[in-house]
Amino acid sequence: GFESDLALAAELTLSSDVSIASAAEAALTSLVTRHPVAARALAADSMRREAFWLPTAVILGVLGAAGEIEPSSLREAVGFLSNCAASGDARTRRAAVLSVSQIGGPLASDVLSHALADEERDVQIEAARALGRLCADPSASRFLDTNPPSGPPSSVKPRNVTTDVLELIGRSGDSDLVAAAVSALGDGITSWSPPSLPPSSNGNRPSVLPPDDLIQALTPLAAKAPSSVAIAAVDAVSRAPLGTPGRMTALIGALSHANAAVTKAAMLKLEVTDVTAERIARCIEHPSHDVRLLAAERLAGVSYPGVRARLLKRAASEPEPEVREAIERALAAIDRRAGGGPLES
C-alpha cells in the first residue's frame, strides 16, 4: 500500500461492519509499519479530531512498538492514549490500552492500572494482559520501578515489581483478570530464550534466562491461588527454560495445591528426576483418582530410591482397579529396568 492509503484505512476502521473495521485495522497496521513518517503526521492531525481517536490510537501503538515515536513526544502520545482509555467508546478504549502497552514505559502502567476498572470486560482483560506482557518484556527495564531511590544505599531487599503488579490486579477480586495477566506473562517468558540469537564460537546458542523476580512472583500463585490463576501460573513457569532458578521449586509447590486440576497440570510439566520423583510419588496417596492415576503413569520405569516401595505400599490398599493396574504396570516397568530388560512403551 501507498502513503495515500493511510487516511482511507484509518477511516474504514470506524466502520460499523465489524469485518470491514477489523480488516481496515490490519491494513492500517501494515501501512504504518511501511510509512512511519506519514503515519506520524496523520496521527498528529487526527489527535485533534475525536471522531478519529480509534485509528489514531492504533497508529500510535504501531509506531511505539517500532520505536518510531520521538522520546520528546512520548509523554504527549501516552497522555493522548490515557484520555482515549478514559473517555473514548469501548473500541477506542480497548485500542488505547493495547497501544499504550506497546509503547511501554512508566507512564503506561498508570493508564493500564486505571483500565482494570473499565466498565467493559474486554477492556479490563486487555489491560490485565498488557500488564502481564510488560512485566515479562526484556526491553521494559522493569518499567514500574525506573526511578532509583535517593540517598545512601539501603540494606532493604528491593521489592518484586512483578509481584506488585499481580497484587495490584488481584485487588480487583477478579481471578479471571489475574489469570489473564499471568497467562500473558507466560507468553512473555518465552522471549527470554530468543531462538534468533546467533551461536557462540563453540557452536552453542547462548541461554537467556528470565529474571528471578518473574518466577518468584509466580511461585505462590501456582501453589495457593484460585485454580484458574494457579493453572496459568504453572503454565507460565513451565515456559521458562530448564535450569531457570526457581522453576522446579515452583512446579513442585503446585503439586500441593488444593485443586486436583492444578496438581495434574504441575505433574505434567515436571521432568521426572531424582529430585522430583519422590515428590510425584507422594501424589499416589492423593484423594483424587485422576491424580493417583497420573502419578502412577509418570513413575513407570523410574529407578529412583524409595519410589518402588511407595508404589508397592499403595498397590496393596488402592481401591480403584484402574489406578491399581496402573501402579502394577509402573512396578513391572521398574523391575524390568532394574533387571536390564526392555521397557514397554
Please tell me whether residues 130 and 240 are part of one structural domain.
yes
Contact between 189 and 239 (Cβ < 8 Å):
yes
Question: Is 218 part of a structural domain of the chain?
Answer: yes
Question: Is 150 part of a structural domain of the chain?
Answer: no
C-alpha distance across the termini of the chain, in Å: 55
Express as a percent the part of the chain with pLDDT over 90: 67
3-state secondary structure of 196: coil
State phi, psi for 117 to the nearest 5 degrees: -100, 15
pLDDT, tens digit, for every residue of 284-340? 999 999 999 999 999 997 888 789 999 999 999 999 999 999 999 999 999 988 765
Please tell me whether residues 128 and 232 are part of one structural domain.
yes
Alpha-carbon distance 10 to 43, whole Å?
10
Alpha-carbon distance 99 to 96, whole Å?
5
Please tell me whether residues 235 and 319 are part of one structural domain.
no
Please tell me whether residues 246 and 135 are part of one structural domain.
yes
pLDDT surpasses 80 at 139 = no
Please tell me whether residues 173 and 253 are part of one structural domain.
yes
Alpha-carbon distance 189 to 246, whole Å?
14
Q: Which of 271, 287, 320 is the last residue of a domain?
A: 271
CB count, 10 Å around CB of 265?
Answer: 24
Q: How many domains does the chain have?
A: 3
Alpha-carbon distance 81 to 69, whole Å?
14
Which amino acid is present at 97?
Answer: V
Please tell me whether residues 37 and 134 are part of one structural domain.
no
Question: Is 197 part of a structural domain of the chain?
Answer: no
Question: Is 203 part of a structural domain of the chain?
Answer: no
Question: Is 147 part of a structural domain of the chain?
Answer: no
Please tell me whether residues 70 and 92 are part of one structural domain.
yes
Question: Is 51 part of a structural domain of the chain?
Answer: yes
Q: How far is CA 173 from the centre of its chain?
A: 19
Please tell me whether residues 179 and 313 are part of one structural domain.
no
Contact between 169 and 177 (Cβ < 8 Å):
yes
pLDDT, tens digit, for every residue of 188-209? 888 775 444 454 444 444 445 6
Please tell me whether residues 331 and 313 are part of one structural domain.
yes
Please tell me whether residues 232 and 282 are part of one structural domain.
no
Domain limits at 277?
A: 272-345
pLDDT, tens digit, for every residue of 84-98? 999 879 999 999 999
Please tell me whether residues 130 and 252 are part of one structural domain.
yes
Please name the residue that has the C-alpha cell 492531525: 45
Question: Is 146 part of a structural domain of the chain?
Answer: no
Q: Residue 162: pLDDT band by 50, 70, 90 thresholds?
A: confident
Q: Which of 222, 253, 271 is the last residue of a domain?
A: 271
Beta-carbon contacts of 146 under 8 Å, excluding residues fewer than 6 positions away, are 105, 106
Question: Is 57 part of a structural domain of the chain?
Answer: yes
Alpha-carbon distance 93 to 345, whole Å?
53
Please tell me whether residues 167 and 250 are part of one structural domain.
yes
Task: Considering only CA atoms, give the Rg of the chain.
Answer: 25
